Structure 1
Amino acid sequence: MAYSLLTFEDPVTGTERAGLESAGLILPLTADNLDLPGDEPVSVENIIEHWDKAEAQLDRLAASAGTGSPGWRARSEITLRAPLRPRQILQAGANYRKHVIDLAVAHRDGEGTDEEIRERTAVVMDKRAAEGTPYFFIGLPTAMASATDDLILPGYSQTHDWELEVAAVIGQRAFRVTPEEALDYVFGYTMVNDITTRELVFRKDMPAIGSDWFRSKNAPGFLPTGPVVLPAKFVEDPQDLMVTLRLNGDIMQQESTADMIFTVAQLVSHASAQMPLLPGDLILTGSPSGNGAHWGRMLRDGDVMEGQITGLGTQLIHCKDEVAR
């Protein structure tokens, strides 16, 4: 029986609690039904840290979903929080082939027709995949929000954009691991929407410095995460997931993770070459084509984003303009 993990708000205390989702039902996880080492309250983070102890217990609990066993709740009865709180977030940029090619055409980085630019960029991407390395930058955990929190669009810009993507959740300390062993260090997968303020990406006052990911991507709520963490054992191939984002019902992004330039395994390996990855850390794998910059349409007050990735549930984000409200 497949299952996933989530975090929800306790209706009495307002604190965060871990839950097990299976067959569309939620089971709150406590020391009464999940025996983990130590005295810490049960959380997704300590489930990850003690997966060797937790896995068999969760397998048995998930098998009881829908059988009338006590404690299971409907999803409508809970208020979601972000599914986990990572210590580190690494984000991969320009990691989908079609996305990078579309950007090259949009920015006209050379002479020739659109088709000629696409062909030239495709050659560059092939060389990058064969000989290059991923491009990473650091995100802040304080930007995280749940899969249902409203997104407040800061009033300092009208260029806020969406980027739905898969994130790998690290399961154990990984330092200088090879691509061949990297997936053994992945606990599971979750969904993120990497909101970006486009006009802040490049510094106009200091162009030699280049991109400013701190200002453009880390406002409160700019990283809706979840709703769930799906253990890796339920994902047959992370390079065969469909990423779909709808804006007010219209499909904006729809792409397979097969279009990644660097695979999940390669991303984890390269990231671990520079720094130790810790249990619960997130490795964002990049955005497919079809964000607002591609469509010439940024987020506005009243917009509704619906994000779906194979096996990772659904995000439903309502956008509210900070000034208009």
Structure 2
Amino acid sequence: MPKPASASALFSGPFALATLSESDGPAFPALVRPDEKVLDLRVALGDPALTVRGLLEQWPTVLTRLHELASTERESGESYRPLAQFRVHAPVEPRQVFQSGANYRQHVIDLHVAHRAPGDERPEQERRAEAAEIMDRRAAQDLPYVFLGLPSSITGPYDDVTLPEWAQQPDWELELAAVIGRPACRVPVEEALEYVAGYTIANDLTDRATVFRRDMPQIGTDWLRSKNAPGFTPLGPWIVPSDSVGDLDDLQLNLKLNGEVMQDESTKDMIFGVARMVSYISQGARLLPGDLVLTGSPAGNGMHWGRLLRDGDVMDASITGLGAQRTRCVAEAR
């Protein structure tokens, strides 16, 4: 799958982190500059076994060194090389993936209307008003909705995405993903962003047909089945450090399907911001360096448009300052 034109020039700040490889060679952590030059951080930092997650485990101390490296042309005998020489992988292998559901007001209202319960003949306007009231109540109660995803669902930002034969309604969900840089447990909202090393792009694909267990309606949602097929979470291309990202409350998320805009929304529509999400998760779990916090998807999914993913579809996704990813859907062979 070809990369988006000038993808690397779109990230903000002097550098970003990536995981790259040469042809079929081993993957390695890289520092990427906006001029599309990359530096092998194993050589520059003198650690042949280094990974991006290893960098994140020493984030508070290594960040200054990374800024220094970004401003030089050569370090420890290793010079910058063109990004075009390398394959771009998902930027990090997390141990844990925390996913936020129902976190964009308009998106949840649209889903509420699309998933009409059997026998519910009320007009759309009435059902939209009901959903809006539910969102207002959730915001007032200050209770985010978070569940776990599987790291095995992650794939690269330019890789093909296999649509499983059993997935009847595969859908896209572009999301801002926070990447943890310090162990976090029971941190207050006011300090939560100090534990975030940077941000990247995630497309949290979902099979709408298997979200709800029809055989056990009392149980509710089945996120294992609907969201965790191999490759259902294209990630990256870069991790942009927090100090280079703009206003978290006003980043634009844009997803195009075969060139047509499907999602185009600001993080302003979030019910709970990144700091609230990280703090909330940390009250009941311990976040580790390299972990991902997916913050929910805005309006404009396939259920809203009545057009779901199929073989040959191409998704172009971008978030302000974080670059762009392009993935092609391939139907699983029967």
TM superposition score category, shorter chain reference:
over 0.9
Q: 2:189 aligns with which of 179, 182, 186?
A: 179
Question: Offset of 1:63 from its aligned partner?
Answer: 1.7
- Give the RMSD, CA atoms, in angstroms: 2.0
Count of matched residue pairs: 318
* Match of residue 22 from structure 2: 10
The offset of 1:64, in angstroms, is 3.1
AA in 1 matched with 2:39: P
The separation in 1 between residues aligned to 2:184 and 2:153, in whole angstroms, is 24
Which segment drifts farther, 109-118 or 22-31? 109-118
Contact 2:178–2:198 (Cα < 8 Å) also in 1:
yes
- Return the alpha-carbon distance in structure 2 between the equivalents of residues 160 and 31 of structure 1: 38
| Alpha-carbon distance in structure 1 between the residues aligned to 2:325 and 2:42 | 29
Match of 1:72 in 2: 80
Q: Could you say which residue in structure 1 is the equivalent of 2:3?
A: none
Secondary structure of the 2:250 match is coil
CA distance, structure 1, for counterparts of residue 129 and residue 297 of structure 2: 21
Provide the residue aligned with 1:210 in structure 2: 220
Contact 1:111-1:117 within 8 A present in 2 as well: no
TM-score of the pair, normalised by structure 1: 0.92
How far did residue 266 of structure 1 move? Answer: 0.5
Cα separation, partners in 2 of 1:19 and 1:93, compared to 1, 3 Å: same
**Mapped contact 2:99–2:293 kept (Cα < 8 A):** yes
Q: CA deviation at 1:267?
A: 0.4
Say whether residues 1:96 and 2:104 are aligned partners: yes
User: How far apart are the structure 1 equivalents of 2:90 and 2:303?
Assistant: 27
Cα distance, 1:104 vs structure 2: 2.1
Name 1:124's counterpart in structure 2: 134
Q: Which residue of 2 aligns with 1:32?
A: 43
Q: How does 1:80-159 map to 2 (within 5 A)?
A: 80-108=88-116, 112-159=122-169
Selected match of 1:162 from 163, 167, 172: 172
Q: Are 1:202 and 1:210, in contact at CA under 8 Å, matched by a contact in 2?
A: yes
Match in the other structure for 2:67: 59
1:48-101 CA-partner distances (Å, limit 9, x unpaired): 1112332122112212369xx962222321101110000000100010000011
Q: Which has the higher contact order (CA 8 A, sep 6+)?
A: 2
Which stretch shifts more, 236-245 or 261-270? Answer: 236-245
Q: How far apart are 1:200 and its partner, in Å?
A: 1.0
1:45 aligns with 2:56: no
SS of match in other structure, 1:239: helix
Task: State the match for 1:263 in structure 2.
Answer: 273
Contact 1:17–1:28, Cα closer than 8 Å, also in 2: no
Distance 1:274 1:5 in 2: 29
Gaps of 5+ in 1: none
Displacement of 1:31 after TM fit? 4.2
Output one character per residue of 1:96-117: Cα deviation in whole Å (capped at 9) or x when no partner. 0000111222234667543343
Amino acid at match of 1:280: G
Cα 1:15/1:97, change in 2 over 3 Å: same
Q: Does the CA contact (< 8 Å) of 1:97 and 1:122 recur in 2?
A: yes
For residue 289 of structure 1, give the secondary structure of its aligned residue in structure 2.
coil
1:240 matches 2:241:
no
Structure 2: how far apart are the matches of 1:303 and 1:31?
A: 37
2:207 corresponding residue in structure 1:
197
TM-score normalised over the length of structure 2:
0.90
